[in-house]
């Protein structure tokens, strides 16, 4: 009888310790979370000026505008926080299935009224949305006690560094810096390995980046794309055709440049085979070196222009395309 009583007391003690440990763990997690917020962070408004934002608590009702933003929510398993998604440019097939599950607010720019109705605690959006004729300025949302997290600002230029800076801000706001820092380190390591493989003494091929938009060809300047750095890292010559952010390209302009290689992308509803066939079948361009030799690489628009979670993959694809001999036996 005495042994039974002692055993019962021992079991009760273990259960009590377990409960206390569980409660302490929950309390510790809550304390860590609470210590992270409120959080102040700097962002760029559409014009390119620095503006400070403050988020009081962990974001739980996030309005997302832009496919590149939606991709990050999926990549870091935060899609359950999305209460509305707008402006689906349908440019990255890798995340389309998960993005389709998000509550679609509007295929184009959502209205201010529809956003307010969702009662978001954060607006995560492409910077171009924060204009008075779009969804309104950043201060106008701050007046409603709604912080913002803008990204992809072409007025300050696109680059690998600016993209990773946006990821860092993203990690801070959602309190997942351990994950975002790990991701950035992995991507940087892969990109460095590519750079170390390139023999800069080799001759540079002329590479023209073309965006196919609504049956027209466009040139994007280095400030308006990410792929220029990828081309240059691979010891290619990025063909710079204008000081303007972007211009429509005539067949005559492409013929005059006569690039050795073409990196081709398409905005919205892209189909790689159709896009490639249209370029290679263009009779006006049949004598252009890249077209004649079928030396054309079709790439994802989001990754090549905005930046996407697969940025290192595209660095590898571009490097292999521009320097196939150097990467024929290389392990990346």
pLDDT of res. 91 = 61
What are 243-267's pLDDT values in tens digits?
899 999 999 999 999 999 999 998 8
* Domains, the chain, with CATH or none: 39-175 (3.40.50.1980), 199-322 (3.40.50.1980)
Mapped to the 3 state alphabet, what secondary structure does the chain carry? CHHHHHHHHHHHHHHHHHHHHHHHHHHHHHHHHHHHCCEEEEEECCCCCEEEEEECCCCCCEEEECHHHHHHHHHCCCHHHEEEEECCCCCCHHHHHHHHCCCEEECCCCCHHHHHHHCCCEEEEEHHHCCCCCCCCHHHHHCCCCCEEEECCCCCCCCHHHHHHHHHHHHHHCCCHHHHHHHHHHHHHHHHHHHHHCCCCCCCCEEEEEEEECCEEEEECHHHCCHHHHHHHCCCEECCCCCCCEEEECHHHHHHHCCCEEEEEECCCCCHHHHHHHHHCCHHHCCCHHHHCCCEEECCHHHHHHCCCCHHHHHHHHHHHHCCCCCCCCCC
* Model confidence, pTM: 0.86
pLDDT above 80 for 8: no
pLDDT of res. 228 = 97
Higher-pLDDT residue of 298 and 27 is 298
pLDDT above 90 for 96: no
Higher-pLDDT residue of 21 and 202 is 202
Task: Calculate the average pLDDT of the chain.
Answer: 89
Higher-pLDDT residue of 102 and 13 is 102
Q: Among 70-84, 90-104, 156-170, 276-290, which is the least confidently predicted range?
A: 90-104
pLDDT confidence band for 51 (50 / 70 / 90) = very high
């Amino acid at each position: 009888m005495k042994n039974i009583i002692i055993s019962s007391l021992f079991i009760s003690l273990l259960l009590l310790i377990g409960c206390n440990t569980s409660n302490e763990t929950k309390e510790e997690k809550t304390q860590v979370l609470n210590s992270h917020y409120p959080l102040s962070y700097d962002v760029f408004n559409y014009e390119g000026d620095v503006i400070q934002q403050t988020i009081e608590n962990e974001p739980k009702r996030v309005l997302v505008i832009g496919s590149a933003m939606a991709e990050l929510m999926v990549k870091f398993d935060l899609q359950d926080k999305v209460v509305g998604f707008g402006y689906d440019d349908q440019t990255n097939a890798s995340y389309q299935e998960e993005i389709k599950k998000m509550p679609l607010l509007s295929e184009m720019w959502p209205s201010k009224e529809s956003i307010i109705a969702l009662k978001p605690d954060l607006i995560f959006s492409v910077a171009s949305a924060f204009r008075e004729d779009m969804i309104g300025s950043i201060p106008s949302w701050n007046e409603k006690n709604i912080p913002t997290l803008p990204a992809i600002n072409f007025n300050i230029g696109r680059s690998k560094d600016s993209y990773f800076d946006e990821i860092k801000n993203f990690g801070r706001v959602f309190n997942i810096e351990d994950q975002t820092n790990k991701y950035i380190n992995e991507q940087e390591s892969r990109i460095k390995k590519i750079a170390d493989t390139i023999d800069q003494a080799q001759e540079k091929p002329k590479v023209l980046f073309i965006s196919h938009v609504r049956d027209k060809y466009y040139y994007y300047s280095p400030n308006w794309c990410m792929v220029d750095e990828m081309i240059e890292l691979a010891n290619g010559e990025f063909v710079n055709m204008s000081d303007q952010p972007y211009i429509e390209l005539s067949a005559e302009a492409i013929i005059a440049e006569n690039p050795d290689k073409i990196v081709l992308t398409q905005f919205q509803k892209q189909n790689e085979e159709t896009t490639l066939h249209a370029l290679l079948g263009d009779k006006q361009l049949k004598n252009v070196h890249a077209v004649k030799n079928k030396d054309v690489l079709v790439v994802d628009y989001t990754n090549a222009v905005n930046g996407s979670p697969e940025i290192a993959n595209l660095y590898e694809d571009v490097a292999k395309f521009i320097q196939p001999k150097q990467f024929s036996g290389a392990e990346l």
